[in-house]
């Protein structure tokens, strides 16, 4: 037996799964703040409480935030072409 929760819409009880949102005409805005908990930058030791300033300093130092880096294309080695070199190196090492 499936039980539903009921809500009031237009003075009537309506199953919540079928009810329209109360504020269907309102616009919802989401703001992502630039502020953050003060953090010491590992490359210069300064403390930053601004995400954009922290990221700008990271970029200026030639660093990359872990988790935000873009994947680089992988280069694959042509194994048949390097096979003889690997075999020769193993022989030279006495293997």
Position 54 confidence tier, pLDDT thresholds 50, 70, 90: very high
How far is residue 95 CA from its own chain's centroid?
46
Q: How far, in Å, CA of 89 to CA of 85, rounded?
A: 6
In this prediction, residue 68 carries a pLDDT of 64
- pTM, full prediction: 0.43
For the segment 17-45, what is each residue's pLDDT rounded down to a tens digit?
888 777 766 667 778 899 999 999 999 99
In this prediction, residue 53 carries a pLDDT of 96
DSSP 8-state class, residue 40: E
Percent of the chain residues topping a pLDDT of 70: 86
Residue tagged 């539903």 (tokens): 4
Question: Among 46, 74, 69, which Cα is nearest to 59's?
Answer: 69
């Amino acid at each position: 037996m499936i039980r539903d929760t009921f809500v009031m819409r237009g003075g009537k009880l309506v199953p919540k799964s079928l009810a329209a949102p109360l504020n269907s005409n309102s616009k919802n805005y989401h703001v992502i703040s630039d502020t953050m908990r003060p953090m010491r930058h590992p490359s210069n030791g300064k403390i930053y409480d601004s995400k954009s300033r922290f990221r700008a300093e990271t970029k200026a130092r030639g660093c990359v935030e872990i988790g935000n880096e873009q994947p680089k294309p992988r280069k694959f080695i042509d194994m048949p072409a390097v096979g003889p070199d690997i075999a020769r190196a193993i022989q030279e090492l006495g293997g």
